[in-house]
Amino acid sequence: MDIAVVWFRNDLRTIDHQPLRRAIASGLPVVGVYVFDPEMMRETEYGFKKMEKFRAAFIRESVEDLRSELEELDIPLLVRTGDPAEVFGTLNEQYFIKCFYMHEEIGSEEQTAERRVREVLQAKVSIDHGHNLYDPEDLPFDSYSVPDTFSQFRKRIEKNDVLMRPPLSKPSAAAKSVEVDEGEIPSLSALGFDELDGPLRFRGGMSEGLKRVAHYFFETDQLRVYKETRNGMLKEDDSSKLSPWLAHGCLSPRMVMDEVRRYEDERVKNDSTYWLYFELLWRDYFHLVHRRYGDDLFAASGLRDRTPPWDRDETLESAWMNGKTGYPLVDAAMRELKATGFMSNRARQNVASFLTKNLGLDWRIGAAWFESLLIDYDVSSNYGNWLYQAGVGNDAIQFRAFNVVKQARDYDPKGDYLRTWLPELRRVPGARIFAPYEMNYEGQQAAGVVIGRHYPAPVVDLFASVERNKARFLDVMK
Ligand SMILES: Cc1cc2nc3c(=O)[nH]c(=O)nc-3n(C[C@H](O)[C@H](O)[C@H](O)COP(=O)(O)OP(=O)(O)OC[C@H]3O[C@@H](n4cnc5c(N)ncnc54)[C@H](O)[C@@H]3O)c2cc1C
Domain stop point among 112, 130, 148? 130
Is 338 in the same domain as 393?
yes
Q: Are residues 14 and 145 in the same domain?
A: no
Contacts of 417 (CB under 8 A, 6+ apart): 233, 234, 332, 408
Give the Cβ contact number of residue 159 at 10 Å.
Answer: 9
Which residue is closest in CA terms to ligand 1's atom 46? 243
CB 280 within 8 A of CB 257: yes
Segment 349-387, tens digit of pLDDT: 999 999 999 999 999 999 999 999 999 999 999 999 999
Same domain membership, residue 434 and residue 321: yes
- DSSP H helical ranges for 183-311: 206-213, 226-229, 243-247, 253-266, 271-293
238 Cβ below 6 A of ligand 1 = no
For ligand 1, the distance from its centroid to the CA atom of residue 82, given in whole angstroms, is 30
Tell me which of 294, 328, 349 is where a domain ends: 294
Q: In terms of domains, do 75 and 88 share one?
A: yes
3 in a domain, yes or no?
Answer: yes
d(CA 307, CA 299): 9
Note down the domain range covering 2.
1-130
**Rounded to the nearest whole angstrom, what is the distance from the C-alpha of residue 280 to the centroid of ligand 1?**
9
The reply to whether 233 and 320 lie within a common domain is: no
Cα separation, 240 vs 242, whole angstroms? 5
Provide the 10 A C-beta neighbour count for residue 445: 11
- Whole-number Å distance between alpha carbons of 62 and 60: 5
Residues making up the annotated binding site for FAD are 226, 239-243, 279-286, 376-378
For residue 8, the domain's CATH number is 3.40.50.620
Give the ranges where 294-378 is alpha helix by DSSP (H): 314-321, 328-340, 345-353, 363-373
| Residue 379 Cα: closest atom of ligand 1 | 8
Residue 105: the pLDDT is 98
Do 447 and 351 share a structural domain? yes
Q: Are residues 402 and 462 in the same domain?
A: yes
H or E segment and range at residue 99: strand 96-103
The 3-state secondary structure of 30-71, one letter per residue: EEEEEEECHHHHCECCCCCECCCHHHHHHHHHHHHHHHHHHH
In total, how many domains does the chain have? 3
Per-position pLDDT tens, the chain of length 478:
999 999 999 999 999 999 999 999 999 999 999 999 999 999 999 999 999 999 999 999 999 999 999 999 999 999 999 999 999 999 999 999 999 999 999 999 999 999 999 999 999 999 999 999 999 999 999 999 999 999 999 999 999 999 999 999 999 998 899 999 999 999 999 999 999 999 999 999 999 999 999 999 999 999 999 999 999 999 999 999 999 999 999 999 999 999 999 999 999 999 999 999 999 999 999 999 999 999 999 999 999 999 999 999 999 999 999 999 999 999 999 999 999 999 999 999 999 999 999 999 999 999 999 999 999 999 999 999 999 999 999 877 789 999 999 999 999 999 999 999 999 999 999 999 999 999 999 999 999 999 999 999 999 999 999 999 999 999 999 8
Considering the domain architecture, whether residues 260 and 326 belong to the same structural domain is answered as: no
% helix, strand, coil for the chain, step of 5: 50, 10, 40
Element (H, E) at 20: helix 18-25
CA 294–ligand 1 middle distance (angstroms): 20
Q: Are residues 137 and 285 in the same domain?
A: yes
Is residue 299, in this structure, part of any structural domain at all?
no
Measure the CA–CA gap between 117 and 111, rounded to whole angstroms: 10
